[in-house]
Amino acid sequence: MSKTNGWQRVCIKDVCESIIDCVNKTAPTVDYPTPYKMIRTTNVKAGWVHLSDVKYVTEEVFKTWTRRAVPQKGDVILTREAPLGEVGMLRGDESVFLGQRLVQYRADTSKLDNRFLLYCFQADDLQGQIKALGSGATVEHMRVPDAEKLTLLLPPLPVQKRIADILSAYDDLIENNTRRIKILEEMARSLYDEWFVKFRFPGHEQTKLIDSELGLIPEGWEIKTFGDVSLNFDRKRIPLSSIQRSKRQGEYRYYGASGVIDYIDDYIFDGKYLLIAEDGENLNSRKLPIAFLASGKFWVNNHAHIVQGKSPVSSELLRLFMEALDISGYITGAAQPKLSQSNLNRIPFILPSEQLLNRFNEVACQLLNQVENLHRKNQNLQKTRDLLLPKLISGEIDVEKLEVTEEEEAIIQGGELVAV
């Protein structure tokens, strides 16, 4: 699309109803939940403002900190330090206010679609401006006056809305899949906990508990180690540097300690495996899963162990086992936490009867297979969305002449995608 065909370079303050920075001091918080939540920079990530991990304040503090403006649904929030340039949009009606180092943009809806503004902030043009305005010897930050100097390449409002419709449809479907993943994983975890932690498995009423080195366990169950019930494939791993990967872009997933980090032109593994984080701060914080399933054709670097369960122990069961386990006693290294292969293999594992394992696998594998399929869908949706965003926001793709497939139209209309 020609950028002269109705597209104009405008100053952001000329198309926003208001641009509000935070109060320049930290609000006093309370250690109990209230209706009033403080947004911090850590809550703003990849287009979303996550309110699951927030600080709470009293009504009095909330009123004091929102004298200039109360954030509302649709406002776009930008981090101007630690990190610089993350962005998210408020999507609910909860009572929130800005913590430090945040800026709130409220679009003038007669000129600017707030969703289009959100995607502009995620594209190279605005990100480049933000980084160029960033200063600071140790921590990059953008001054509040500079937050009003940013410029947008703005198409007519109907084109903005069409672009926003396309991109937000991808985001909404990804978020819907993520919610489904959480429900399915909770079902699988609850089943695991009930049968193998609380020992309330089918027929437990007729099963005696006997003493073992790990305490009371059901009669007939055995004490093994993780190494006894798994096969390890770490020797097949091959790490690639970011420079190497940049020269080998392709369709195959490249996994690190916490999931997919890139896509390259070849694969090492073909099948279903369990990946377990070998190192990194997440081993201690557990903010992300430390164990996750991967299937199909993919590559793994040397930051994740790669294993399979030995029949009748499934990889799905081992994943739930690792996620429920306190691994602090098996981690070495303070600066760089590490779960070595030898320490992983010596973790005690209580082995149930084969009959019970088979019954569990019938249910849990079905649930976790759905989880994995949804993860794969989300990865594909995210790739497509990330390819579209810069081309749509820059005008490289003319949305008025854009031809979409039936699958893409289903996404835009909010329909369920059968296969992605």
CATH code, domain carrying 15: 3.90.220.20
343 located within any domain: yes
Question: Omega of the bond prior to 156 within 30 degrees of 0, cis?
Answer: no
391 located within any domain: no
Residue with token string 């594992």: 349
Residue numbers of the domain that contains 302: 177-372
Q: Are residues 221 and 150 in the same domain?
A: no
Q: Are residues 65 and 214 in the same domain?
A: no
Q: Are 329 and 344 in contact (CB under 8 A)?
A: no
Q: Are residues 267 and 350 in the same domain?
A: yes
Q: Are residues 241 and 119 in the same domain?
A: no
Q: Are residues 217 and 364 in the same domain?
A: yes
Q: Are residues 119 and 268 in the same domain?
A: no
Domain end, chosen from 331, 356, 372, is at: 372
Q: Are residues 197 and 97 in the same domain?
A: no
SS3 of 183, please? helix
102 located within any domain: yes
41 located within any domain: yes
At 84, which amino acid appears? L
70 located within any domain: yes
Domains in the chain, number: 2
- Give, for all 420 residues of the chain, the pLDDT tens digit: 445 478 999 999 999 999 999 998 999 999 999 999 999 999 999 999 999 889 999 999 999 999 999 999 999 999 999 899 999 999 999 999 999 999 999 999 999 999 999 999 999 999 999 999 887 656 788 998 999 999 999 999 999 999 999 999 999 999 999 999 999 999 999 999 999 999 999 999 999 999 999 999 999 999 999 999 999 999 999 999 999 999 999 999 999 999 999 999 999 999 999 999 999 999 999 989 999 999 999 999 999 999 999 999 999 999 999 999 999 999 999 889 999 999 999 999 999 999 999 999 999 999 999 999 999 999 999 999 999 999 999 999 988 777 666 565 666 665 443 332
Our measurement of the distance from residue 11's CA atom to the centroid of its chain's CA atoms, rounded to an integer in Å, reads 32
Domain end, chosen from 119, 154, 189, is at: 154
> 342 Cβ partners below 8 Å, 6+ apart?
none
408 located within any domain: no
414 located within any domain: no
> 17 Cβ partners below 8 Å, 6+ apart?
106, 107, 108, 109
Q: Give the predicted TM-score (pTM) of the model.
A: 0.82
Q: Are 168 and 115 in contact (CB under 8 A)?
A: yes
Q: Are residues 121 and 233 in the same domain?
A: no
378 located within any domain: no
Structure tokens at 81: 């330090």
Q: Are residues 135 and 185 in the same domain?
A: no
Q: Are residues 211 and 315 in the same domain?
A: yes
Q: Are residues 230 and 127 in the same domain?
A: no
Paired with 151 in beta bridges are: 11
Q: Are residues 236 and 341 in the same domain?
A: yes
Residue burial 332-359, b: 16+ Cβ < 10 Å; e: rest: eeeeebebeeeebbebebbbbbeebbeb
Task: Read off the DSSP letter of residue 198.
Answer: S
